[in-house]
Structure 1
Amino acid sequence: MPVALEIVSPEKLLLSRNVEMVVIPASEGEMGVLPNHAPMIVLLRGGTIAIHEGGKVTDRLYVSGGFAEITPERCTVLADEAVPTSELSRAEGERRLSAAEAEYNATDKNDVPSLDAAMDRMQSARAMIEAAAA
């Protein structure tokens, strides 16, 4: 019994197919989703989604963040941004990292929500650089 996987970005439906397993970058760490998974909604951090079919990784997509809704039959990823890793640019990741670091350094250190948002953008940019290099 496969897992019905859908990956959606604000622009379009990127992927919709049955897969053996999907590994998502949940905010608490990498999370594998198999058939009959417990229902939950998880926050995603910047990272790579790995799609497993036939016992191996067949596709990888970078996501900058978002949410995933998991049911026993389905995993729906609502990504802020999703790009196949083959289309990533290390230079773009480095540009985003520099911008996020500058934003963090310019932020009032008492403004915790703004600091957290800048740190999330730094982590997401680092994940993009790592995924582009892989």
Structure 2
Amino acid sequence: MSLQVEIVAPDRIVWSGEARQLFARTIEGEIGILPQHEPLLAVLGDGDVHIDPVGGDRETITVNGGFISVDNDKVTLVAEHVDAANLGV
């Protein structure tokens, strides 16, 4: 089982693909998302998002503000500002 993940900034799609899990910081604390996660809509805090892609090494993207939505194994993260300098893509 996997998640379909899409991370977008105002001007581009930053990362899109299948992942085993994802970790992000919301304004209420750190969350981990695995397949079959309950539906969720949360406001993002500033910090790193860690993605464990299917068949790849962990990717880290720094975000500032935005929101995360989880529904039916689809994760959409919309960030106000993204620093993907460490992204290995």
TM-score by structure 2 length?
A: 0.88
Task: Return 5+ residue gaps in structure 2 as ranges.
Answer: none
Aligned to 2:29: 29
Higher relative contact order (CA 8 A, sep 6+): 2
Structure holding more helix per residue: 1
Q: Which runs of 5+ in 1 are unaligned?
A: 88-134
Q: Which has the larger radius of gyration?
A: 1
Aligned counterparts of 2:71 and 2:37: Cα–Cα separation in 1: 6
> 2-side partners of 1:75 and 1:47: how far apart?
17
CA contact (8 A) 2:18 2:53 kept: no
Q: Is the 8 A contact 1:43 1:68 kept in 2?
A: yes
The residue identity in structure 2 corresponding to 1:15 is: W
1:58 aligns with 2:58: yes
* Moved beyond 6 Å, runs of 4+: none
What residue number does 1:6 align with? 6
Identical aligned residues as a percent:
27
Q: Distance in 2 between matches of 1:82 and 1:24?
A: 13
Over aligned residues, Cα RMSD in angstroms?
2.0
The number of residue pairs the alignment matches comes to: 87
